[in-house]
Amino acid sequence: MQKRSPIRKCVGCGARRDKIELLRVVNNKGEILVDPGGRIPGRGAYLCPNMECFDKAVENQSLEKALRFEITDEIYEKISEEIKHD
């Protein structure tokens, strides 16, 4: 039997997908980190790894709302680089 990973919702498009298909961004004690491995503790938000969802999340500030933290341009830059790297 195949083991399924949990379902998470993309903060960009709102689609529910398998956790492993999404890019995790985490608020680790006030530091926003990109967590492709999903191992960093803290409040997390998920994004489909594409620029459309990223742009939507920036526009709607949905990452900030999900993480309850102000996200600087520098952090957004880091996240977009991670998506492009994929």
Least separation in angstroms between CB 11 and Zn ion: 8
**Cβ-based nearer residue to Zn ion, 23 or 75:** 23
Least separation in angstroms between CB 13 and Zn ion: 3
Least separation in angstroms between CB 1 and Zn ion: 28
Q: Let me know: does 13 contact 52? Beta carbons within 8 Å.
A: yes
Site residues, Zn ion (CB under 5 A)? 10, 12-13, 48, 53
Query: What's the CA gap between 1 and 16, in Å, rounded?
Result: 22
